[in-house]
Amino acid sequence: MIVCDQKSTLYSLVAKTITSEVIEKKIITIDPIKGIIVSVYSEQSPEFSLIYQEAKKARALVEYPDHIWLFAAFGDVHIHAREDVSGLHLYKEDFQSVTDASYNGGLLFACDMPNNPVAPIDDETYLAKYRLSMRVPFALLPYAGIGPKTSPLSFLVPYKAYMGHSVGDLFFTDSPSLDLALERYRQQYVSFHCEDPDILERHKNESDHFARRPIQAEFEATRFALKLIEKYELKGKLCHYSSGDGLELIVEAKKRGLDVETEVTPQHLYFSEEEILALDDKMRQTQFQMNPPIRNRYNRELLLKALSEGHIDYLATDHAPHSPAEKLKGMSGLTGLDSFGAFTTWLMLTKNIDPKIIAKVAAENPGEFYNRFHRAWLKDSPYQKVQGLGLGKIEKGYSASFTLLDTTQPQSISKEFLKTKALDNPFLYQTFPGSVFRIYFNGREL
């Protein structure tokens, strides 16, 4: 697609460019050898026409019509890629299928959760997992797990703490033991799965998944997580947030100066408990089972409102693939990578969420989350995959990685469309108003 003069290595993209601050046509000049952005000028600036003419003369210009929207690379700060040194969960997903599904959804990087059979919990196990991801051209940053007996790694990584049951030893059955463990993680980046283990225990014999994992469990766990974030000066992130009322606690904590951020999943913004319970097919109901569960309409509307008002920091899928047989047995976890980009067009074109907010929650904030680890050690390590200053910004010196959406070409989510090994997606049979048009990674169109 790129018309490029053999002698010239630089090329320029002209497109309607969306950042958290402004939506305007820009000319972005790229060095594909270094993989970085060389310059960015808006249509209003005097440099625009000069560079445009030069690039055109050099046959190094790619111009997109206005219905194609260019964002910095989309990234997902919460996925379960399933691959680890044990290989026990490769039937669910692996780094290659995660790469394929991510590209399909317009995602260029992701952060991978640690609840593997061999969990990354120290330098050695963390880097062993990292090495496995080196064979794919996709920037995967693992989280390290926090368990009752673990300690921080010797270099800066994101951590995940599970409140409530998950896989292996990476969970705390009671709150005081989590408190005790986090004392060792003072000032670290810690993400929380917020469901209070005591409340879950009291409801474990209820008749359906919604009742077994009530919203009070999330509300109480939020209070506790915020207390720990304050007590140990953590840089906290609350995962896949689903409780509308709980958001008030978070907004208030942010106002008090706490370093806390929030993720929300596409499925919590789109579906409701009422809709799932109304499905005739009970088997189809179990397909929607995840933790925390999809909540009722009231909560969904509060989550959408919070997103539109700028209180949500990350749109994150919590992509958690299982085999079809496991899903039928009622195993919790939904996929989401394949549908990510198309879903954002539903938010913007159907729910009128400002595209600048999408730039923030799907590109800039995930980029900044990744960049701090990139800056701290990744960029100078053998595990480096992202060029320049990092991801998430359309500015000189940053990686020339972009997600382009077509706002006029609808996307139906069919089985044939999916690249995840799970061959499942909560949005199966739905059609979104737009689609992923093209992706660029480190200056190259993929």
DSSP-derived secondary structure letter, 417: G
Residues binding Zn ion: number (CB under 5 A):
1
Q: How far is the CB of 103 from Zn ion (least distance, A)?
A: 21
Q: Which is nearer to Zn ion, 61 or 221 (CB)?
A: 221
Q: How many CB atoms are located within 10 Å of the residue 34 CB?
A: 17
Closest residue by Cα to residue 232 from 155, 299, 146, 316:
146
Cβ–Cβ under 8 Å, residues 401 and 73: yes
Q: How far is the CB of 78 from Zn ion (least distance, A)?
A: 6
Residue 263 sits in the site that holds Zn ion (CB under 5 A) = no
Residue 76 sits in the site that holds Zn ion (CB under 5 A) = no
Q: How far is the CB of 415 from Zn ion (least distance, A)?
A: 23
Q: Which is nearer to Zn ion, 318 or 364 (CB)?
A: 318
Q: How far is the CB of 80 from Zn ion (least distance, A)?
A: 6
Site string for Zn ion, 309-338 (x = CB under 5 A): ---------x--------------------
Q: How far is the CB of 194 from Zn ion (least distance, A)?
A: 12
Instruction: Return the residue matching tokens 């005081």.
Output: 176
Q: Which is nearer to Zn ion, 77 or 405 (CB)?
A: 77
Question: What CA–CA distance (Å, rounded) separates 64 from 13?
Answer: 8
Q: How far is the CB of 320 from Zn ion (least distance, A)?
A: 6
Q: Which is nearer to Zn ion, 166 or 344 (CB)?
A: 166
Q: How far is the CB of 112 from Zn ion (least distance, A)?
A: 10
CA dihedral 420, 373, 145, 319 (to 10 degrees): -20
DSSP-derived secondary structure letter, 399: B
Question: What CA–CA distance (Å, rounded) separates 97 from 305?
Answer: 34
Q: Which is nearer to Zn ion, 68 or 77 (CB)?
A: 77
Residue 330 region by backbone torsions, left for phi larger than 0, else alpha for psi between -120 and 50, else beta: left
Token digits of residue 395: 């500015």
- Strand order across the 159-162 sheet: 144-145, 159-162, 189-193, 235-238, 260-264, 314-315
Q: Which is nearer to Zn ion, 295 or 438 (CB)?
A: 295
Token digits of residue 93: 């997903």
Instruction: Return the residue matching tokens 């595990």.
Output: 383
Q: Which is nearer to Zn ion, 94 or 112 (CB)?
A: 112
Residue nearest Zn ion, CB atom distance: 318
Question: What CA–CA distance (Å, rounded) separates 417 from 441?
Answer: 22
Token digits of residue 135: 């064979």
Q: Which is nearer to Zn ion, 118 or 167 (CB)?
A: 167
Question: What CA–CA distance (Å, rounded) separates 315 from 121?
Answer: 26
Cis peptide before 292 (omega within 30 of 0): yes
Using CB under 5 A, list all residues that contact Zn ion.
318
